[in-house]
Structure 1
Amino acid sequence: MADDVLSQSEIDKLLSALSDGTVSAEEVKADEEQKKIKTYDFKRPDKFSKDQIRTLFMLHESFSRLLNTYLSTHLRTLVNVEVASVEQLTYQEFVQSLANPSVISILAVPPLKGNIILEVNTEIAFAFIDRVFGGEGKTGIKPRVLTEIEEVVMKRFIDTAMGHLKEAWSNVVEFRPSLEATESNPQFTQIVPPSDMVVIVTIQMKVGDVEGMMNICIPYLVLEPVMSKLTTTFWVASSVSKDDDPEQVKILQKKIERTEVPFVVQLGSVDITINEFLTLGFGDVLQMDAKVNDNLLCMVGHKPKFYCRPGTSGKKMAVQITKIINEGDEDTDE
């Protein structure tokens, strides 16, 4: 009642009831005191504040974006990865909520103590494996334990996920995640006592037409040394300072400079029939459409970027750039 705003007519009715004796002042006071009582379950103490839960949500939103980019590129299909919820439960409640079998990975995160769990729904796991093997990602496979070959494929997914998780947490703590064990039965993954509080990050995943969940279980024991850093103020300040760090800019520039891209020079093209192609033999000559004085097209990756002239540099074949193709580029320096 203390938080509600009463209208003038409600105030008049209340004063009238008090004056008539219909409602006593003691009843109003007792009712107000009763509403101040807050239920607290000592078996499930709240270890994480709302601000800390919000920070964990933001951290794993970054993780979801990184994982979404990797899966879209690697699987070459429509992928959607986003954080569905972040909540605190007892470890026993988390284990009981998992399906059996599941793809469960137990990770060590030194220098932080203890382990965390990365659990992937079998539907998403089989969709990932099917796409890696060249399928469409549509699985009607009943939940079962992975084979040895399937475990190797999923280990590649877990290794990549650990790298993105490390990057997402880098503003809070620099840990080195490593895979300690894999399990299919949730009952065999006792990393903390059943009554200990854990934070569960539930991530909604969609690979093609297949939807499923991925859960990250982080015990309070693991996060206790960095609890003071799990605030939105600290996380945002760290992100801004890291983005403006000249050392980070230099590291990023070096990585870009070391990136390898294919550089292909097209000498020309010719159209032939299938029958002519089948009858080709050693010593046959094909006349292409390019002339001796024509500029040749240079492809960087799959995009045309330069025109050039063929020649030699010492004893090696070489090309000389004659023109830059700026079409399609944004903010290209001349």
Structure 2
Amino acid sequence: MLSQSEIDALLKGAIEVDQKDGQESVNLAELINQGGEQRGRAETEGGKKVTSYNFWSPDRFSKEQMRAVELVHEDLTERLTTSLPTFLRTNLRPRLVHTEQGRFHDFLKDFPPNSLFHMINLAPLPSQVVITMSPNISYLILEQRLGGKIEGRYQDRPLTEIDQSLLRGLVEHMLGDIKAAWSKVVSVEPTLEDSTTNQHWVQMIMGNERVMLLTFELNIQGTTGTMSLFIPFNTLKPIANVLNPHIWIAGRKEQQQDYTTREKVLQNMQRVTLPIRVPLGQAELRLREILNLAVGDVIQLDTSIREPLVVEVARRKRFTGRVGRSGRNIAIQINGVIREPADPTDEIER
């Protein structure tokens, strides 16, 4: 057992161990440090990599989950490559270049003050997704939408209300592609909740969220900028079990029936009106016979009163029935269903 004075001397490197047989004394502190250096060199020579772990901001997304989200947004870039040029009337090809996870407030401080943040709700998933574009790309998009000429330079100025409205229109145009890209994982209904340049407001909405950052490279006629997408951990938590790259690639997705939506569709269909027609029969007459018709004349049809009549719904033969009376009204009683053979042309169209 070492005394406190011996421990202090050891830490200062003042304790030496006498060796037998005339060997030189050994300093314990130097021996300990030498062993640590040798172990460090051995780890380096062995090819081991030491990764620092941040206890304040630990990783929440596994590698498979991050890869699944990357695949979703790689598909989104392909869709935006097709849809955005028609909206902006110029070539634009986004490319996913970087993914990272961390605290939202740590990423927020790297954006300039005039950045416009769009908060999107992916119902029914919780929390909100945030999208923002670099100012140089935002101003070029505004110049293009207003009919100006893209010259590759912009003036750093605050965004006006008109500017923000035009950029919101671009994000709203992207919502359909976002919905389609996520369709293999989960059915969502993206809506643009708010757009603001107030970073304090965005910080208050997002809080100290753990988020996944996806950075897209945007190139418009030689000018390169970025689009950043922040997805909170709470948004992906309900679908963590289906965030699998194998499921996304295979396109395998469990079809869950939404009974509420089904009921609404049925209610809407019940209010649809369809024309119903019941031909009593046909007869062919010469024009002279038609001109000589008078009140009380009888026209003989090609049907018999014992034969069922055909009920046509929207010009398609659907039922058979018999004519009768319901109160003071003439009515038709349904007594059969007509099963039409499949139309080969319908099969081709399907």
Establish whether residue 104 from structure 1 lines up as the match of residue 148 from structure 2: no
Partner Cα distance (2:247, 2:51) in 1? 30
Matched residue of 2:123: which SS?
coil
Give, as a single letter, the amino acid of the residue that structure 2 aligns with 1:113.
P
The corresponding residue for 1:114 is: 127
Partner Cα distance (2:221, 2:132) in 1? 20
After TM superposition, give the deviation of residue 152 of structure 1 in Å.
2.2
Partner Cα distance (1:72, 1:136) in 2? 16
After TM superposition, give the deviation of residue 129 of structure 1 in Å.
1.6
- Going from structure 1 to structure 2, the CA distance change for 1:28 and 1:71 (only over 3 Å counts) comes to closer
Instruction: Give the 5 Å matches for 1:1-334.
Output: 39-138=52-151, 140-190=153-203, 191-194=205-208, 196-238=209-251
TM-score calculated relative to the size of structure 1: 0.59
Deviations 1:127-185 (A, max 9, x none): 11211222222353323332222222212101011221111111111111111111113
Give, as a single letter, the amino acid of the residue that structure 2 aligns with 1:159.
E
The corresponding residue for 1:246 is: none
The corresponding residue for 1:323 is: none
Partner Cα distance (1:206, 1:52) in 2? 28
Give, as a single letter, the amino acid of the residue that structure 2 aligns with 1:145.
P
Contact 1:102 1:122 in 2 (8 A): yes
The structure whose Rg is larger is 2
Deviations 1:229-267 (A, max 9, x none): 11111111226999xxxxxxxxxxxxxxxxxxxxxxxxx
- Going from structure 1 to structure 2, the CA distance change for 1:178 and 1:240 (only over 3 Å counts) comes to closer
Partner Cα distance (2:112, 2:40) in 1? 50
Deviations 1:89-134 (A, max 9, x none): 1111111121211121111111111111011112111111211222
Matched residue of 2:206: which SS?
coil
Gaps of 5+ in 2: 1-33, 256-350
Matched residue of 1:71: which SS?
helix
- Going from structure 1 to structure 2, the CA distance change for 1:88 and 1:207 (only over 3 Å counts) comes to same
Contact 2:214 2:228 in 1 (8 A): yes
Partner Cα distance (2:40, 2:110) in 1? 43
Give, as a single letter, the amino acid of the residue that structure 2 aligns with 1:150.
D
Gaps of 5+ in 1: 1-22, 243-334
Give, as a single letter, the amino acid of the residue that structure 2 aligns with 1:53.
M
Give, as a single letter, the amino acid of the residue that structure 2 aligns with 1:193.
G
Contact 2:168 2:195 in 1 (8 A): no
Matched residue of 1:177: which SS?
strand
Partner Cα distance (1:121, 1:180) in 2? 20
Matched residue of 2:53: which SS?
coil
Matched residue of 1:89: which SS?
strand
- Going from structure 1 to structure 2, the CA distance change for 1:131 and 1:224 (only over 3 Å counts) comes to same
The corresponding residue for 1:287 is: none
Matched residue of 2:207: which SS?
coil
Query: What is the aligned length?
Result: 217
Deviations 1:251-288 (A, max 9, x none): xxxxxxxxxxxxxxxxxxxxxxxxxxxxxxxxxxxxxx
After TM superposition, give the deviation of residue 79 of structure 1 in Å.
1.7
- Going from structure 1 to structure 2, the CA distance change for 1:209 and 1:228 (only over 3 Å counts) comes to same
Deviations 1:177-222 (A, max 9, x none): 111111113232023332x321001000011132211101011011
